[in-house]
Structure 1
Amino acid sequence: MRFGILGPLDVRTPDGTPLDPGGPRPRALLTLLLLDAGRTVPVARLTDGLYGDEPPAGAANALQSQVSRLRKRLGLDIGAVPTGYCLTVSPEDVDLHRFERLAREGRRLLGSGDHARAAALLREALGLWRGPALAELPDAAPLVARLEELRLAAVQDRVDADLAMGGGPDLVPELRELISGQPLSERLYGQLMRALHAGGRPAEALTVYEEARRALSDALGADPSAELSALHLELLRGQEPARQRGVPAQVTRFIGRADELARIGALLADARLVTLTGPGGAGKTRLAVEAARGLPDVCFVELAPLADGAQVPYAILTALGVRDGLHAPGGDATERLLSALHGRELLLVLDNCEHLVDAAAAVTGLLLGDCPGVRVLATSREGLGITGEALWPVPPLAAEPAARLFADRAAAVRPDAAGLRAARARRLTDEICAALDGLPLAIELAAARLRTLTLDELAARLGDRFRLLSRGDRTKAPRHRTLHAVVEWSWELLDDEERDLARRLTVFPSGATLDAVEAVCGIPYPEDLLASLVEKSFLDVTDGRYGMLRTIHAFCARQLAAAGEEERLRDAHAAYFLRLAEHAEPMLRGGDQLPWLAGLAAESGNLDGALRHLTRTDPHGGLRLLAALSWFWRLRGLYGERRARALELLDAVGAEPPEGLFEEYVLCVINTIAGDGDDPAEPERLARADRLVAALKGPLRLPHLVVQWSVAGGPDHSMTELVRAQVGAHPWGVALLDLGLGFQEQFAGRPDAAEAAFAGALAGFRETGDRWGMANCLDPLGMFADWRGERDRALALLDEGLVHVRDLAAPEETADLLHQRATVLLHRGDFEEAAAHYTRATDLARTAGVPDKVATARRGLGDAARLSGDTARARAHYEAALETYAANWFSLGQSVRTLVGLGRTALAESRPEEAADWVEQARVLASDTGELAEVAEALAAVATDPEEAARLLGAAHGLRGTLIAGDPDVVRVEAATRARLSPEAYEKAFEQGRSLRSAAVRER
């Protein structure tokens, strides 16, 4: 339906048929609802609008009745809520709201210089008026007056558009009629003067000024405004009327920044001074231009060319189009400026204030204080520092709009830019944009180099970005033409102390805390200097950490190298972070894990840089740092980082452990072991680590070494009398000992003893508050509950463990627990949910860089697919898992389980011979009791002799200590075997297998 309230109420169906809302009361009610179409109108506002200040008794009930009749009469959707009523229609179906939208858009186009489209939209908006607005509402005079003001503003905007397109004589009658109704509107007088001048009637234009002067004097006792007086003076001199400088037109598309534009618009609605801050090249000017483009009466002032703060008011006067002669030539420019803006409503855009920030602030403060209709949008590398200023730091472009900007600008310089959308090119584009900090200027300069470079060549040369990006737009000021010039311009605005600190800060690869800055940079009490650098957009600060964009970092690093301080500062940097890591190391094994893990994670770049420096200059210090970080790496799954660093450091240290650093040396060797089978020297390092660990007497200063070695070397190394001495009597060490004992008992097929050991370890880790330890106990405890068929308890234990590992942000342990939880769900028959868990475990393991765990999760997906009947998908998952497994102790057992899965898949597809072959491969490969138990159950599934199947099920029970209650694979085999044997024969064969255990599998 269509609704008109800009005139008598008009309601029409989509085909144009008019509808009658009824008498005066329903017509007034519908008008009130249409004023807020699509929004809830409070009951009080409706009753006031219908009945005035003295509504009758029972007005609320009467209103409800009126709404009900209106619904039925017109078929309207009028919703009722406790606070009021809402008419569900689109604002576009109401002429008032369409008028406001079209008028806004027309004003925006007028400001951007698109006069023809502006005129068309404004005419369409004004054409919606059919008479006096809100004709059905009594006592609506204030609202009607506001709408008439909007209508008049739209008419004046349309006149401005017509004048800009060369209109003149044809506008004169209309303008004279408008002035007769608005005899104090200086804007209308000015438009009439321009129209007469354009029509070749300058004398009449001058007469209009005199009419305006008399009208203002008689009614208000005031003189014409500075703007109207300036127009009069220009016409007296026979000059073309000067125009104020609107926002400059742009030759390239504006990309991204929608959220920033919305936020700036909201700030401008609430604050009279909004300053966009940020480093050079962040796009402050373009953002200000776009934010101001759609606003009425905007004046753009470029301050970058000015060399003296005294020139600021003159620059604003020039941009306003105010020429000498308004007052006596040579008069005070600030007074002239205040006079020119007095009484005006205008947005002043002051661009590039940073080099004249004091003068810009002084002038802005005067304007805001003396001219209440003036608002200011400033761009600067630091705020103006005026009370009430709303600061908006312009952030770098996010990855997606940065890539779009790069592609857009690249399309202008090379014909094959469409190739940038290919997957590899997109990856390179993302890397280039990230390396350039998402700075629009840097991205545009880089895209321009594609005229002569390939994308690969461009990416490879970004290490020397200032030389590479040294050719820019010739129309820009020199300081804005190249990346180096932009940053150098900011550098020159710093004082000596700020430059000194800025270049020293580049010793931090990943930002720094206040403590680190003070300790490393050698500047006492650096708070004020840091704050100043933040204010000048040379630094950013987040949660107490100070950082630099890489582009600024690269520039300042050159300054540091030129100053000759680099090596001394790197020594201080490495010493500070070595102290930090050694202090943090014991904290990672107790209740303070989380804050210390977060702290080390925040310093990862600094710690890595310190380790590289120490490896080169002080390998013994490097050993200490690597050892202090080893447990952190283990908890966070940072495998790729630790191995490369450890190999480099081991070469630097040499073949023998340094005195006093034996444990540190052993940890370094352990960290070189990846277990992926790709390094032919790894078996020798593994044997060497075994010998070194055996020589450690204990108690260890770094007891987590035992865990690191157990993971790298395998379960045979996890529990010996030597380990008891190595972990010592500390509660964490005792709990770790129980954890190892639990695994030993589990591998030996003694689940009750294993469960008791894990429970003891859990109690010990709870005492210390170590979340890693608790999670690693809850994992097997959940498994034992699952074996007994206690699925709900198993899930509860695993869920508690997941809370701990998620707190730790430990991806590998999280993947393990998700895998274990998925297995419980499989046993419960929730195949779809289990598959979702395995998928999440796959993603986490891949993120952590642990291919074994990726393959394990793929095997789980194979189990889920097979048990749900999708054998083709199961086979694909199993085969993918086998391809991924690395050649280490852990992957051996998982390979066995995957071969078993392939055997069960072949059996489900009625290929018993193939199934037997897969299971036989698993039997040959199996080593520990857990693997043999699963192989025994699989062999029972492919056995043709029921007594042999019963013996193999018994062997599985003896090896594991139990059969898994409700395991769908075992339940089917057990039921089929029992159906073919008498109870006595089954029990006899089962007991034979349970006593033989591995022999029943090996000697088969």
Structure 2
Amino acid sequence: MQIGLLGPFQVTTDGGVVADVPGARLRGLLAALALQPGRVVPKSSLVDWIWGEQPPADAANALQRLVSRLRKALPAGTVDGLPDGYRLAVEPDAVDAVRFERLVRRARDGDGPQRVRLLREALGLWRGDPLRDVGLPDSPALDAAATRLERLRLAATEDRYDAEIGLGREADLIPELTDLAAAYPVRERLAMSLMRALAAAGRDTEALLVYQRTADALADALGVDPSPELSALHVTLLRGGTVRREDTRRTNLRAELTSFVGRDADLVAVGELVTAHRLTTLTGPGGSGKTRLATEAGRRMTGDLPDGVWLVEFAAVSAGGDVVQATISGLGLRDALLGDPGNAEPADRLVAAIRDRDMLLILDNCEHVVEQAAALAHRLLGECRRLRILATSREPLGITGEALWPVAPLGLPDGDATVAEVESSPAVRLLRDRAAAVRRDLASDAGTAMTMARVCSALDGMPLAIELAAARLRSMSVDQLATRLDDRFRLLTGGSRTALPRHRTLRAIVDWSWELLTDAERAVLCRLSVFSGGASLDAAERVCAGGAVEPGEVLDLLTALTEKSLLVAAGGVAPRYRMLGTIKEYAAQRLAEAGETNLVRHAHLAYFTELAEAAEPWLRRADQLTWLARLDAEHDNITAAMRGALAAGEA
């Protein structure tokens, strides 16, 4: 059972059901017990809580009746009766107010990052005013408890800002501190935190104005002068002294120009993986949003790591290039930190420079230097014990202990989704968000929403493809865009001028993956494009073999293409290999360029003709359900084979 007192009163049982605790006195009784979970609360204290200075004539019996009603509202065995009082039999952390106080006490003993993390967790438990909705009108004990909790909240907030300023996050805190200082004009700790943050950002004049406002508020409200600590800070600023940290730059992550849409659950999951594992790799096809997800996850963690979060981009490194030097440049390490270049190899000097740093290193776009990136990550993690690495790649780095998170396309609405469900789906939200930036007259009616859903489905929910489509809406309508996606590679070419060349057009995105394949992988990928609804291993071995590809090699090639995020292996016992629509169209074009389309389609037709002929006698026997299921799985392929035969005059 969970009891919420830090906001609207709420009781939730283990099954997630909200328990109804009706009546102000019943809620007041539960609140009094919940603030001391596992401990006996004297009957006299409970009477004071519930009735204040006007208890009933027979207070003991009235209290007993209330306890009886409370027991009926809560799970059995929750409220224990003892000779001198009553006890709530729940764990302390089951009550948010008690958990809040325990976290704040633990934070006092923690170091900088741990202290910030604990205080954030504690303050995150608050949902509103404490003991709200209890509703006891004349209970000084209840009012005192609520006041005490609110004071603890404010003190914990001040502790959090002090701790975060100690970690060098002054600039990020200025807006929050400005609002709080205005709300609590006589809280000197808030004023001092705001002054330090402003001074660290080079805004000394504003810091001096904060002091003056606080001094005036103290004089008007309390008739007192500022404390010696606040006055000393004021004098330091007047004399031109500095309270800035010389090294406040704790990340090289750029501020984003667009909103982050549709991946809130992924963001939480990646954060948990990075916390639990020292190496996490985000995998997925080109344009799936791996880099953006990695940087957003890193941005969230910057305040928790004393040495920050740093992005190293390998996109500009040529295949087989020097990833160590790229890392040194990305981290901005100076020669003074690296030592004499003649004394050691660059990798040794890099390890020496970051050996004791508690930081997150994001290695972006590792796929074309995956061997070198894997070797670098293995070396750094082995010798830098406080380092964590978050990599992005179209295939795993392949290191023992590596945690993987496949970055899937954005969620698409179901075929029978309502307009509201369509509008709230992640893919459509992204398209509308990006489209709104390029045209102001975008309609918000049901027809437009459904057309947007068609566009997103045609583009497989891939974020970069959706953004390229949104850019096209500068010069065409949503309906025109939807009808022209059959020629998507010619249509989607309006990427950002500052983006990587391979992210400016849809074809360039897939070209980049194509260039990283072997000839055998390319052949199998092209030949798979004739399948509809995916291919079984047996079918792929029959249809995709030929030339330099032996049937026995097909499984390894399918595995390699799956690892490189060009195929999806779906299913358990007998997986089927599928490809996204954009990849399939690209592969079909490459198959035509190779002059193999008719040959591979004929092999596809032959296989499924044989399958149908083999299935016929079994459809009247005991194994008919097994064969019907197999034919059902191949329904799209059989239909495609029949249509291909008709089109080729081989009916």
Relative to the length of structure 1, the TM-score reads: 0.43
Q: Distance in 1 between matches of 2:35 and 2:512?
A: 71
Structure 1 residue 576 displacement after superposition? 0.5
Asked if 2 retains the 8 angstrom alpha-carbon contact of 1:21 and 1:27, the reply is no
Q: Distance in 2 between matches of 1:248 and 1:285?
A: 12
Asked if 2 retains the 8 angstrom alpha-carbon contact of 1:273 and 1:377, the reply is yes
1:402 aligns with 2:435: no
> What is the CA deviation profile of residues 91-139 of structure 1, one whole-angstrom value per residue up to 9, with x for unaligned ones?
498345579799449989xxxxxxxxxxxxxx99782389xxxxxxxxx
Q: Distance in 2 between matches of 1:21 and 1:439?
A: 49
Indicate the residue corresponding to 2:542 in structure 1: 519
Per the alignment, do residues 306 and 607 of structure 1 end up closer, same or farther by CA in structure 2, a change over 3 Å counting? Answer: same
DSSP 3-state at the match of 1:94: helix
Q: Distance in 2 between matches of 1:441 and 1:617?
A: 37
Indicate the residue corresponding to 1:89 in structure 2: 95
1:449 aligns with 2:448: no
Q: Distance in 1 between matches of 2:352 and 2:489?
A: 46
Give the counterpart of 1:127 among 155, 165, 172: 155
DSSP 3-state at the match of 1:507: coil
Structure 1 residue 565 displacement after superposition? 0.7
Per the alignment, do residues 430 and 593 of structure 1 end up closer, same or farther by CA in structure 2, a change over 3 Å counting? Answer: farther
Asked if 2 retains the 8 angstrom alpha-carbon contact of 1:345 and 1:373, the reply is yes
Give the counterpart of 1:321 among 314, 322, 332: 332
Q: Distance in 2 between matches of 1:508 and 1:587?
A: 24
DSSP 3-state at the match of 1:274: strand
Q: Which moved more, 1:273-282 or 1:315-324?
A: 315-324
| Unmatched segments (≥5 aa) in structure 1 | 4-13, 30-63, 109-122, 131-147, 172-195, 206-230, 232-239, 623-1004
Indicate the residue corresponding to 1:167 in structure 2: 200
Structure 1 residue 284 displacement after superposition? 0.8
Indicate the residue corresponding to 2:255 in structure 1: 249
Per the alignment, do residues 463 and 373 of structure 1 end up closer, same or farther by CA in structure 2, a change over 3 Å counting? Answer: same
Indicate the residue corresponding to 2:613 in structure 1: 582
Per the alignment, do residues 159 and 429 of structure 1 end up closer, same or farther by CA in structure 2, a change over 3 Å counting? Answer: closer
Letter paired with 1:439: M
Where in structure 2 are the equivalents of 1:263-278 lying within 5 Å?
A: 263-278=269-284
Indicate the residue corresponding to 2:570 in structure 1: 542
DSSP 3-state at the match of 1:375: strand
DSSP 3-state at the match of 1:347: strand
> What is the CA deviation profile of residues 379-406 of structure 1, one whole-angstrom value per residue up to 9, with x for unaligned ones?
1000001011111111111112111111
Give the counterpart of 1:604 among 609, 615, 635: 635
Letter paired with 2:500: A
Indicate the residue corresponding to 1:487 in structure 2: 510
Asked if 1 retains the 8 angstrom alpha-carbon contact of 2:283 and 2:404, the reply is yes
1:157 aligns with 2:167: yes
1:528 aligns with 2:556: yes
1:557 aligns with 2:588: yes
DSSP 3-state at the match of 1:127: helix
Asked if 1 retains the 8 angstrom alpha-carbon contact of 2:280 and 2:391, the reply is yes
Where in structure 2 are the equivalents of 1:92-241 lying within 5 Å?
A: 94-97=100-103, 103-104=116-117, 127-128=155-156, 154=164, 156-157=166-167, 160-161=170-171, 165-167=198-200
Asked if 1 retains the 8 angstrom alpha-carbon contact of 2:281 and 2:392, the reply is yes
Asked if 2 retains the 8 angstrom alpha-carbon contact of 1:244 and 1:319, the reply is no
Per the alignment, do residues 242 and 315 of structure 1 end up closer, same or farther by CA in structure 2, a change over 3 Å counting? Answer: farther
Q: Distance in 2 between matches of 1:403 and 1:335?
A: 48
Identify the structure with bigger relative contact order (alpha carbons < 8 Å, sequence gap 6+): 2
1:286 aligns with 2:292: yes
> What is the CA deviation profile of residues 560-613 of structure 1, one whole-angstrom value per residue up to 9, with x for unaligned ones?
111101011111110101111121233333432333222222222211110011
Structure 1 residue 378 displacement after superposition? 0.7
> What is the CA deviation profile of residues 298-349 of structure 1, one whole-angstrom value per residue up to 9, with x for unaligned ones?
1122221222655322332333332122211455221122112212221111
Q: Distance in 1 between matches of 2:41 and 2:341?
A: 59
Give the counterpart of 1:503 among 523, 526, 551: 526
Indicate the residue corresponding to 1:339 in structure 2: 352
Q: Which has the higher helix share?
A: 1
Q: Distance in 1 between matches of 2:41 and 2:355?
A: 41
Per the alignment, do residues 157 and 613 of structure 1 end up closer, same or farther by CA in structure 2, a change over 3 Å counting? Answer: same
Give the counterpart of 2:398 among 382, 385, 392: 385
RMSD, matched Cα:
4.1
Per the alignment, do residues 321 and 509 of structure 1 end up closer, same or farther by CA in structure 2, a change over 3 Å counting? Answer: same
Q: Which moved more, 1:478-487 or 1:242-251?
A: 242-251
Asked if 1 retains the 8 angstrom alpha-carbon contact of 2:271 and 2:297, the reply is yes
Per the alignment, do residues 372 and 576 of structure 1 end up closer, same or farther by CA in structure 2, a change over 3 Å counting? Answer: same
Q: Which moved more, 1:272-281 or 1:516-525?
A: 516-525
Per the alignment, do residues 457 and 321 of structure 1 end up closer, same or farther by CA in structure 2, a change over 3 Å counting? Answer: same
Equivalent residues, number: 475
Give the counterpart of 1:312 among 323, 328, 336: 323
Relative to the length of structure 2, the TM-score reads: 0.65
Asked if 1 retains the 8 angstrom alpha-carbon contact of 2:473 and 2:481, the reply is yes
Indicate the residue corresponding to 1:356 in structure 2: 369
Asked if 2 retains the 8 angstrom alpha-carbon contact of 1:354 and 1:381, the reply is yes
Quick one: percent identity of the two aligned structures? 45
Q: Distance in 2 between matches of 1:480 and 1:22?
A: 56
Indicate the residue corresponding to 2:48 in structure 1: none
Q: Distance in 1 between matches of 2:118 and 2:486?
A: 45
Q: Distance in 1 between matches of 2:84 and 2:297?
A: 42
Q: Distance in 2 between matches of 1:86 and 1:332?
A: 55
Q: Distance in 2 between matches of 1:495 and 1:577?
A: 28
> What is the CA deviation profile of residues 838-871 of structure 1, one whole-angstrom value per residue up to 9, with x for unaligned ones?
xxxxxxxxxxxxxxxxxxxxxxxxxxxxxxxxxx
Per the alignment, do residues 454 and 155 of structure 1 end up closer, same or farther by CA in structure 2, a change over 3 Å counting? Answer: closer
Letter paired with 1:598: A
> What is the CA deviation profile of residues 777-825 of structure 1, one whole-angstrom value per residue up to 9, with x for unaligned ones?
xxxxxxxxxxxxxxxxxxxxxxxxxxxxxxxxxxxxxxxxxxxxxxxxx
Structure 1 residue 438 displacement after superposition? 0.7
Letter paired with 1:491: W
Letter paired with 2:568: D
Where in structure 2 are the equivalents of 1:798-837 lying within 5 Å?
A: none
Asked if 2 retains the 8 angstrom alpha-carbon contact of 1:508 and 1:606, the reply is yes
Asked if 1 retains the 8 angstrom alpha-carbon contact of 2:286 and 2:513, the reply is yes
Per the alignment, do residues 449 and 159 of structure 1 end up closer, same or farther by CA in structure 2, a change over 3 Å counting? Answer: closer
Q: Distance in 1 between matches of 2:505 and 2:274?
A: 31
Q: Distance in 2 between matches of 1:435 and 1:26?
A: 61
Q: Distance in 1 between matches of 2:603 and 2:514?
A: 25
Per the alignment, do residues 611 and 390 of structure 1 end up closer, same or farther by CA in structure 2, a change over 3 Å counting? Answer: same
Per the alignment, do residues 458 and 449 of structure 1 end up closer, same or farther by CA in structure 2, a change over 3 Å counting? Answer: same
Q: Distance in 1 between matches of 2:431 and 2:635?
A: 30
Indicate the residue corresponding to 2:309 in structure 1: 298
Per the alignment, do residues 313 and 243 of structure 1 end up closer, same or farther by CA in structure 2, a change over 3 Å counting? Answer: farther
Asked if 1 retains the 8 angstrom alpha-carbon contact of 2:35 and 2:95, the reply is no
Q: Distance in 2 between matches of 1:372 and 1:125?
A: 36
Q: Distance in 1 between matches of 2:154 and 2:310?
A: 26
Q: Distance in 2 between matches of 1:71 and 1:318?
A: 70
Q: Distance in 1 between matches of 2:271 and 2:445?
A: 36
Q: Distance in 1 between matches of 2:34 and 2:606?
A: 83
Q: Distance in 1 between matches of 2:604 and 2:248?
A: 60
Q: Distance in 2 between matches of 1:102 and 1:416?
A: 48
Where in structure 2 are the equivalents of 1:638-677 lying within 5 Å?
A: none
Asked if 2 retains the 8 angstrom alpha-carbon contact of 1:79 and 1:87, the reply is no
Per the alignment, do residues 66 and 435 of structure 1 end up closer, same or farther by CA in structure 2, a change over 3 Å counting? Answer: closer
Which structure has the larger Rg? Answer: 1
| Unmatched segments (≥5 aa) in structure 2 | 7-26, 43-76, 108-113, 122-150, 172-192, 208-235, 413-424
Per the alignment, do residues 69 and 590 of structure 1 end up closer, same or farther by CA in structure 2, a change over 3 Å counting? Answer: same
Q: Distance in 2 between matches of 1:290 and 1:595?
A: 47
